[in-house]
Amino acid sequence: MNLVDRRDFLRHLLTAAGLALTPFDRLPFGKRQIAMAQQPRRIIVMGAGLAGLVAAHELVKAGHQVVVLDAQLRPGGRVYTLRDPFADGLYAEAGAARIPDAHDLTRGYVAEFGLKLVPFQPDEPTQSRTKGKRILGPSSQAGGSLGNAVWDDDSLVEALHNVGPEEPIQRFDKIDGGNDRLPAAFAARLGNRIRYGAPVARIEQDEQGVRAIVQRGSGREVVRGDFLICAIPFTVLRGIDVSPSFSSPKRRAIEQLNYSAATRIYLQSATRYWATSGQSGFAILDQIETFDATFGQPGERGIMMLYTLGDLARRLERLTPDQRIQHGIVEAERIYPGMGANFEGGFSWCWSEAPWARGAFAVYLPGQVSTLYPVATRPEGRVHFAGEHLSSWPGWMQGALASGLRAAREVSGRT
């Protein structure tokens, strides 16, 4: 299949059966908020990722009583800025890294919370290499467009992630100070409505209400509500008891939805030596994408990040952390000679191994778009569903936000 055929094929996959923008998705930011509640309800939100946070935020504004339960000790889920492993206050993203220009919801909430966007990458040529052939392309193609690619299976997965229902991405930005500032801003507004260290192990519902059973050490706590928004990945939902069981089509969707793996390797370098040889630090290769994670951050030191998806990410998961770093140094040396001499230390992150994610993001396979998507988004009794996987933008913060707003509106409209 040549490049154009492949591109059309991918668009077809994404728009064929459900991932095209819904009328609700087309509403501009500011028109998706929900009306004041006629009858305030008690709503449990499972998951303090962006989907759960935005749902909780808008439901509170509409007058509902909300409790958010998250298994971890921080908000944000897959928006996770790594700070501790690195020197000089430098940071790098484990998950969401870049915000396309068309993502109005993400940009809208960034503005609502007074956060600042800065460019994700310099406005310089980006190195691309496919099957050993090196190509220079405009930086706007880095990680966003379908240009310059001869796809193998991994880059197909990446392309699926990078295509949104809207048309070409012209630029990317990121949040000054780290993308975790967005979930942190939601969390600050929600205050003690969020309960951390609260993994939900079981969901029960009947005519009176819904109950989330939280497992804390050897103890169990029952949290009661009128409705529940389940904003956790299906990979994790697979391990949760549900009584009575969800319908069999829903169970099938939860079991079968495909998720990509993603592994990132971070190399702290004594200098950003690649810049002195005229390289931006951003490159797209056959199976690896590189970011200068520290682009725009002050200081001499830098963090080169290697980003892999699909099969290569899975192969890297099977290595020890040290082996991953060694692999990263060899690859970085090949792309930007000099890493060996500048390397200070490294870190890696595998999303499939993260217990509360167990995968990077949903990648609907051809048959799954038409068979799983409609049923995956549908409520089951008092339980509604949100998350990047249940949106027109799977694998993006925009998708998580859109799904959370949709679920909040569904719940708020119930009597």
Ligand X SMILES: Cc1cc2nc3c(=O)[nH]c(=O)nc-3n(C[C@H](O)[C@H](O)[C@H](O)COP(=O)(O)OP(=O)(O)OC[C@H]3O[C@@H](n4cnc5c(N)ncnc54)[C@H](O)[C@@H]3O)c2cc1C
Q: Residue numbers of the site for ligand X (CB under 6 A)?
A: 46-52, 69-72, 77-79, 95-99, 199-200, 231-233, 236, 240, 262, 351, 356-357, 360-361, 387-388, 395-400
At its nearest, how many Å lie between ligand X and the CB of residue 288?
Answer: 13
Residue closest to ligand X when measured from CB atoms: 49
- Which of residues 105 and 273 has its CB atom nearest to ligand X in the complex? 105
Please state the closest distance from residue 231 (CB atom) to ligand X, in A: 5
For residue 5, the tally of other CB atoms under 10 A from its CB is 9
Q: How far is the CB of 72 from ligand X (least distance, A)?
A: 4
For 127, 256, 291, the CA distances from 393, given in Å and listed in that order, are 27, 19, 22
In the bound state with ligand X, the residue whose beta carbon lies nearer, of 149 and 200, is 200
Cβ contacts of 232-235, under 8 Å, gap ≥ 24 = 232/46, 232/47, 232/49, 232/52, 232/200, 232/356, 232/387, 233/259, 233/357, 233/358, 233/359, 233/362, 233/387, 233/389, 234/259, 234/362, 234/376, 234/387, 234/389, 235/259, 235/357, 235/358, 235/359
Provide the minimum distance between the beta carbon of 133 and ligand X in the complex, in angstroms, as a whole number.
26
In the Cβ-directed half-sphere of 208, how many Cα atoms lie within 13 Å?
3
Nearer to ligand X, 97 or 149 (CB): 97
What are the DSSP calls for 259-287, one per residue? EE-EEEEEEEESS-HHHHTT--S-EE-SS
Q: How far apart are CA 324 and CA 330, in angstroms?
A: 10
- The SS3 assignment for 65 reads strand
State in angstroms the smallest separation of the CB of 35 from ligand X: 23
As beta bridge partners, residue 215 has 220
* Residue with Cβ nearer ligand X (266 or 361): 361
Residue 259 CB, nearest approach to ligand X (Å): 9
> Residue 143 or residue 342: which is nearer to ligand X going by CB?
143
> What value, to the nearest 5°, has the Cα angle with vertex 347 and ends 285 and 268?
75
To the nearest whole angstrom, how small is the minimum distance from the Cβ of residue 291 to ligand X? 10
Using the minimum distance from each CB to ligand X, give the nearer residue, 72 or 279.
72
Of 342 and 350, nearer to ligand X (C-beta) is: 350
